[in-house]
Structure 1
Amino acid sequence: MTELRVGLIVPLSEEFGYVSSVVDLLGDFREQGRVYHSFLVPGTEITGLLTVLHEMGQSNAAIAAQDLIRVFGVPLVALIGTGAALSSEVALGDVVVASEIDAYLHRAKAVGEAEHPGGAGLALAGTSWKPSAPLLDLVRNFPLRKASRDVVTAWSGDALARCPLPVGLRPAAGPGLHVAPVATGDVVVGSDTFKAVIRNKNRTLAAVEMEAGGAALSAYHSDTADVLVVRGISDHAAKDKTATDLTPDVDGRPNAWRRYAVTNATRILLKLLAAPDFPWRATSPARGPVSPAPPRRPEPGPSRGDGAESGPAVDGRSPDGRRSGKGWLDGRTVAAVTSGAATALAVESLLHRRRDIEEALSAASSPPAPEAGSHAARTESADGPDGSDGGSHP
């Protein structure tokens, strides 16, 4: 039985092209204004949902991560794409997995040079997040353990063999895997001076990117999901960034380093997710209202004439135009079935759960009308039941 366990965030459509060349996408569907692509982690029964931001930045990633966690209940949000090296030990094409996510611009202060010499007029403060200890332990030991070190060696060798760069630009060795702190902020870093500012704040930072802080913040506030940031290194965060990005591949297509970096990152991410001892957080049914919900009242609707109730329309609305839980489920199930039976079962299970919660909330907010003359009914009407709150690169 397949199980939906990972939500994958890809910042840009360009990066989606590289990721989809590695991940076998089963199909797609739209939910609450966002398109999701379903996929299966090779060699496992783990399914995932991938979504593309189409724009860079922390806030976009935060919203996407929140949707994946709240709507689908995924216990892991993974973020993949390009990153820029801050450390001289990190080469183009290498992959950095974040051991710490440093939002270096958080609480930054603009100051004069006299107040902060050499700081380019910006005094950094920052805040940070980390993956859970079990997840970080797995990633750090993945290249070292007997069961997985050969996997990493083979990944690096295969990556070099697939490298799309011309012979004169091809790296001498396959990509390295680094587990190190990553800087995140809403700035495209292409300046040696600004790069030095970031490094001066935290000399252990290996790379910089633009979305991890948002995804990490949503996972942190959920208290149910972990976060895994995997970045392929495509430039040095220096003045030559544009030229590096435009480097052509053997077929003359630009962005060869970006393609190489993201495909390397995607392949090692899939290897990590397929680890038999991957520390998935336990999932539990989403919490409904605190107080018991009153019994459901049947919704009025026209009959088909054969004694059976008419079902919802294909667009997920009931015959009277209102969206129903059943219609929402049917529409998503149809989309999932076209994506493959395995994904359908996983997604449908989650949607059943969500439908039940939505119906309970709806019933709780609209209790049956009290009978006239009933003291208990009059008291309930006066007090009223409590309502429930609704939930909110370089």
Structure 2
Amino acid sequence: MSVPETQPTALVLTALPLEYAAVRAHIEEREELVHRDGTRVERGRLPGTAWQVALAELGMGAEKTAALTTQLIGWLRPEAVLFTGIAGGLKDDIAIGDVVIGTQVYEIHGGKQTPEGFLVRPKSLPGSHALEQAARSAVRDMADVRAHFLPIATGDIVLADAGSEIAQLLRRNYNDAGAIEMEGSGALHAAHLNGRLDALVIRGISDRANADKTREDASGSQQLAARQAAKVTVAVLHKHHPRSAASDLPRSSRSFRSSDPEEGPHRGLGDGATYGGDHIDFSGGTFRGPVIGKTDGRR
């Protein structure tokens, strides 16, 4: 088994070959790595960033995705995990080719069947705040991308009937979801169980999750959706910097941390707290953020 180098790694996951190809087109100087259990990734350089990107094609399904993502995280030790690809749209105002960035991911099959009917027991996982913020910043300057920040539903189903029982369940219980797909919850579960790891699901809309799905897919909508999702994924990595590279960033792009005594006058803010220009740093790590208003302890 090849041993990955110790460099900032972003793990980009896909389910389908066309999704993989859309991301692969952005990665240079690729090499193939093979895990001892046979899982393969291509690792390469993302131009204009400090990232090396490890790209994997995992196949369909949340359970398989969770297992393989856990394996890849343990092997490659990435700082960020992004699942990118295509999905069905669930809103009338979300068009084919639009991109949905998952503010959270719903698992839609959990519940209890009773004589009164199926009682939903919703489960959700949030996307990374840092990656979501990077995505919001990135898409502002992408005139050719129409992005939506909404929850994404994950279910072991391909939805092609807007009048089906599962479609009705989505409308009743997950009516804020913008897209439905099959893998996102598995990737987020694996990321959340592996400590401090940023993760986000990014999906291009290839169909409207209705009876027109086959016709829309045949029109090339899947390729368009995969390209748009890959474009946003790459833009997010241009915005989101590796933690190990944070000290090399310009001040305007750094995290809010200013404990350097040369950065400004220090004022009495309690033990271990310093004021550096426009930021407070508590050495105990309980607060780091911009200072708004007075800092003399009055409320």
TM-score computed with the length of structure 1 as normaliser: 0.57
What is the CA distance between 1:31 and its match in structure 2? Answer: 1.2
Closer, same or farther in 2 for the Cα pair 1:102/1:220, shift >3 Å? same
Contact kept, 8 Å, 1:139 with 1:179, in 2: the verdict is no
Secondary structure of 1:195's partner?
A: helix
Closer, same or farther in 2 for the Cα pair 1:136/1:268, shift >3 Å? closer
1:108 aligns to what?
A: 111
CA–CA distance in 1 between the matches of 2:98 and 2:27? 19
Contact kept, 8 Å, 1:37 with 1:51, in 2: the verdict is yes
What amino acid is aligned across from residue 188 of structure 2 in structure 1?
A
1:138 aligns to what?
A: 134
What amino acid is aligned across from residue 162 of structure 2 in structure 1?
D
Secondary structure of 2:8's partner?
A: strand
Contact kept, 8 Å, 1:135 with 1:279, in 2: the verdict is no
Q: Which has the higher strand share?
A: 2
- Post-superposition Cα deviations, 1:39-78, rounded to whole Å, max 9, x if no partner, equal 222211210111111x310111112211221111112111
1:18 aligns to what?
A: 22
- The answer to whether residue 227 in structure 2 is matched with residue 268 in structure 1 is no
Which of 47, 55, 62 is the aligned partner of 1:58?
62
Alignment of 1:15-94 (within 5 A): 15-24=19-28, 26-32=30-36, 33-53=38-58, 55-94=59-98
CA–CA distance in 2 between the matches of 1:43 and 1:30? 26
What is the CA distance between 1:282 and its match in structure 2? Answer: 6.4
- The answer to whether residue 225 in structure 2 is matched with residue 229 in structure 1 is no
2:7 aligns to what?
A: 3
Closer, same or farther in 2 for the Cα pair 1:123/1:78, shift >3 Å? same
Structure possessing the higher radius of gyration over alpha carbons: 1
- The answer to whether residue 182 in structure 2 is matched with residue 186 in structure 1 is no
Secondary structure of 1:191's partner?
A: coil
Q: Which has the higher helix share?
A: 1
Secondary structure of 1:8's partner?
A: strand
CA–CA distance in 1 between the matches of 2:18 and 2:7? 28
Contact kept, 8 Å, 2:191 with 2:197, in 1: the verdict is yes
Number of aligned positions between the proteins: 238
1:214 aligns to what?
A: 186
CA–CA distance in 2 between the matches of 1:92 and 1:77? 25
Contact kept, 8 Å, 1:134 with 1:279, in 2: the verdict is no
What is the CA distance between 1:141 and its match in structure 2? Answer: 4.0
Closer, same or farther in 2 for the Cα pair 1:45/1:137, shift >3 Å? closer
Contact kept, 8 Å, 1:96 with 1:233, in 2: the verdict is yes
1:369 aligns to what?
A: none
- The answer to whether residue 258 in structure 2 is matched with residue 258 in structure 1 is no
Contact kept, 8 Å, 2:65 with 2:183, in 1: the verdict is yes
What amino acid is aligned across from residue 108 of structure 1 in structure 2?
G
Contact kept, 8 Å, 1:191 with 1:237, in 2: the verdict is yes
* Aligned-pair identity (%): 26
Closer, same or farther in 2 for the Cα pair 1:101/1:59, shift >3 Å? same
5+ residue gaps, structure 1 = 117-121, 144-148, 157-174, 248-255, 284-394
What amino acid is aligned across from residue 189 of structure 1 in structure 2?
L
2:170 aligns to what?
A: 198
